[in-house]
Amino acid sequence: MIVPNFEVYNKLDLITELNCWFELEDNETVKLICDALRHPSIVIKGDSIIIDGQEWIFRKGRNVIALIDNKETLIRRDDSEYVVDYVLYRNDEIYPIYLKNRRYIFNGEEYEKYISYLDKKVLIGKNKTTVILRDKQIDLESGIKYYISRYYFSMEYNNGTKVIDQKGSILEFNFKGKYLGFISSYGHVYRSEQGVIVSNKKGNIGICVDETYLIGEMAGGLIILCGDKLKQYYNTSWREIDRSIDSELSVNLNKNTLGILKGSILYVYDNDFNKMLNFINIKSFIFDSRRIHLLSDDGSIGSAVIAQNYKPLKVINRNNTVHNSIVIQVDENYSHDLSVKNGKIVEIKKVNGINKKLILIEPYEYRKGLLDVKVGNRFYTISYTISYTSQIPKIEFVSAKVLVASKGGTLIQNPDKNALLSFIIKYSIPTRSQLTFNINILNDSFRIISEENSTEKLIQIPLRIGSLEMANIQVKVNAYVDERLIASLEFLAPIEVIDNNAEDYSKSLVVKNSLTREIIAKRNNIFQWEEIFERPSEYQGIIFGKEGEEIEIDGEKIFVRNGPNLITISKDNGNYIREYLIIGVSNPIRDLKTEIKGNLMILKIEIDVDTPFEIFYGPHSYRGVSKGNNEIHFPIEPTYNSIKVRAFSHGFKWEVLYDTNILNSSLIIASNQAMKIREILTSFGIL
């Protein structure tokens, strides 16, 4: 069996907008070329990809972009709509190519045509042709006709042909036509302007009136692309190989192998043109003397030897057990596209020191069977059928029973349940995946998840059983690996009734407003039985308090706010709950104003209606029930400067002391009266 042995496989960060292809440097060294203005040197040599440099410079519309470490920098922008391309050479200078008035302008000179093909940019003028090959500029006198191919540019003149090769060297020939290339056994090969294919060692060997490309030599014969037809010349005759080739880049070969790229599929043939194998996802390819080199559109690069009897997979362990998975060893370059039919990959391990990986696989069927294992990479995958054996899953249940509390009993941890299913599950299942046990009992379902593949567990499930007359309860268990059912089992669990004869008991009180509940509880390790006695317990739930004061209710400090306020006192983890309506009583004394009229002081006092009150002013006092706005008259007592007002409401007493400043007012009145008397006496001449 023919399988490619990938000696190189890696994924590069190439710029997707660019076109890239391979080029041979020598028989064992390949270089990746892209149509950027500049890019890092990327060379495949031996089992390595050697990258020198980091900078990419490329055209994006009218802009020239530099890319280093995934960071783009604009280094040139032309606003002119006439820009068609850029050239970078001569000490890193960037030169634009313009198309204006049907003329191409480059570096101040005009040309009639511009061709960009792979890494060649050709400007053809009436008298001068400029070929830019990477960082070189070669100038030629314009001739009669030109030809361009992957490796050569030919300019035909009246007296011969000049050819520029990939190194930028100029070769001169005395024939007129397109230079195709050099093959040691055929010499220089060209196609004349009449379409005759000529070898300078073998003479005329054929005719092609379409575009002609020399692909190379294979098994002693020439492989020529004539239009879209691929042909072989051997021993004076021609053989057609294929008649739908896209371009010269779609065909490549070495001495013994031919590759034809159609779309993204590469077909590989031996020297008898028998198909050997296919590669997929191919953007570009090339053969050297020993290997084929591949490039995909995502930047993956591979170099492979097309080998007989090569096998990238080796079975290490075929027996799936609790302790060991099925193990295969895969060459690292075949570990990028892995899949298993009838099983799954549970782990991938790198093997130290060699380019191998260990793949741990678990079958879906735990018995003797077959696994279809696919290994590969971006370019090539291959499937192998592997036979295996497996340990059988073992699941058993022991010590199963249902403990049920006698009438009135409940589970301590689950007061809404009165029974406990208890059993031990012992299992040994050859898996590294998550295990799930679905337990169905009495129309209820319970799920137990485990990451252990071999153990025993005590399972206890709370239940609610209405009838104590049953002898057994049926239990059904479904075992799953991931979401895959691997076993369905069932067993009977006998019922055992636990009577109310526990010696451990306790009493507790629960108070909720005017109801007191006394609870007497008996319990063992699993169940409890409760007897409840209820009695009324009245309490005073409406309490008056002075606004702004703090009162104590059931040991709690309560701040009194004006008006009715409903509060709840909760204590002892909710076992004591009572509501209280707190009536906040505000001060009924609102305001006091005083007037002096003659020798009387008039008090205007505002007190809430129907509030008893009394007033004290020196030796004078007053008592009555408020009408809201009250007016009281007292003789002025200059020696007393304050008035006390006392009011009573809802059993509370308020006192407010007002400063009247009556002494100062009396002195002012006396002074005014003295002045009047003086004026009167003066008018009579007495003073």
DSSP letter string over 241-290? EES----GGGEEE-SS-EEEEETTEEEEE-TT--EEEEE-S-SEEEE-SS
**Residues, the chain:** 687
For the record, the structure tokens of 580 come out as 């209280």
State CA 375 to chain mean position distance.
Answer: 28
- Tell me if 410 sits within 8 A of 403, measured CB to CB: no
What is d(CA 72, CA 86) in angstroms, rounded to the nearest whole number? 18
Average pLDDT, the chain: 91
- Tell me if 199 sits within 8 A of 165, measured CB to CB: no
Helix (H) or strand (E) holding 298: none
State the pLDDT at residue 210.
93
Residue 667 has pLDDT above 60, yes or no: no
For the record, the structure tokens of 55 come out as 């900078």
- Tell me if 402 sits within 8 A of 421, measured CB to CB: yes
pLDDT, mean of residues 433-456: 93
Residue 678 has pLDDT above 90, yes or no: no
Dihedral Cα 217, 219, 221, 222, nearest 10 deg: -20
pLDDT tens across 44-80, in order? 999 999 999 999 999 988 899 999 988 999 999 888 8
Residue 609 has pLDDT above 90, yes or no: yes
Residue 430 has pLDDT above 80, yes or no: yes
pLDDT tens across 501-524, in order? 767 778 888 999 999 998 888 888
pLDDT tens across 339-356, in order? 999 999 999 999 888 899
Q: How far is CA 297 from CA 94, 233, 294, 435, in A?
A: 28, 34, 10, 42
pLDDT tens across 313-328, in order? 999 999 999 999 999 9
State the pLDDT at residue 144.
94
Q: In what order do the strands lie in the sheet with 120-124?
A: 113-117, 120-124, 128-133, 136-141
| DSSP per-residue letters across 618-636 | TTEEEEEE--SEEEEEEE-
Which amino acid is it at 131?
V
With a pLDDT cut of 70, the percent of the chain lying above it is: 96
Task: Please give the DSSP secondary-structure letter assigned to residue 682.
Answer: H
What is d(CA 437, CA 460) in angstroms, rounded to the nearest whole number? 13
For the record, the structure tokens of 165 come out as 């090769």
The CA-to-CA distance between both ends of the chain, in Å, stands at: 153
Residue 670 has pLDDT above 60, yes or no: no
3-class SS of residue 678: helix
Q: Which one has a higher pLDDT value, 263 or 500?
A: 263
H helices then E strands: how many in the chain? 1, 66
pLDDT tens across 110-168, in order? 999 999 999 999 999 999 999 999 889 999 999 999 999 999 999 999 999 999 999 99
- Candidates 90, 119, 118, 117; CA nearest to 106 is 90
What is d(CA 29, CA 44) in angstroms, rounded to the nearest whole number? 6
- Tell me if 253 sits within 8 A of 242, measured CB to CB: no
pLDDT, mean of residues 430-440: 95
The C-alpha angle 638, 640, 641, rounded to 5 degrees, equals: 100
For the record, the structure tokens of 618 come out as 């020196």
The C-alpha angle 402, 405, 408, rounded to 5 degrees, equals: 150
- Which residue is associated with the tokens 């209280």? 580
- Tell me if 343 sits within 8 A of 326, measured CB to CB: yes
Q: How confident is the model at residue 624 (pLDDT cuts 50, 70, 90)?
A: very high
What is d(CA 619, CA 613) in angstroms, rounded to the nearest whole number? 17
State the pLDDT at residue 359.
96
Task: Give 366's contacts (C-beta < 8 A, 6+ positions apart).
Answer: 320, 390, 391, 392, 393, 429, 430, 486
pLDDT, mean of residues 390-418: 91
Task: Give 194's contacts (C-beta < 8 A, 6+ positions apart).
Answer: none
Q: How many CA atoms lie within 13 Å of 149's alpha carbon, on the beta-carbon side?
A: 24
State CA 369 to chain mean position distance.
Answer: 38
Residue 220 has pLDDT above 90, yes or no: no
pLDDT, mean of residues 365-375: 95
Q: How far is CA 409 from CA 28, 203, 412, 607, in A?
A: 87, 112, 9, 65
Helix (H) or strand (E) holding 168: none
Task: Please give the DSSP secondary-structure letter assigned to residue 38.
Answer: B
For the record, the structure tokens of 498 come out as 């636990």
State the pLDDT at residue 182.
95
Q: How confident is the model at residue 641 (pLDDT cuts 50, 70, 90)?
A: confident
Task: Please give the DSSP secondary-structure letter assigned to residue 368.
Answer: S
With a pLDDT cut of 90, the percent of the chain lying above it is: 74
What is d(CA 458, CA 426) in angstroms, rounded to the nearest whole number? 9
pTM as predicted: 0.72
pLDDT tens across 229-245, in order? 999 999 889 999 999 99
Which amino acid is it at 39?
H
pLDDT tens across 275-290, in order? 999 999 999 999 998 9
Q: In what order do the strands lie in the sheet with 629-635?
A: 589-597, 600-607, 629-635
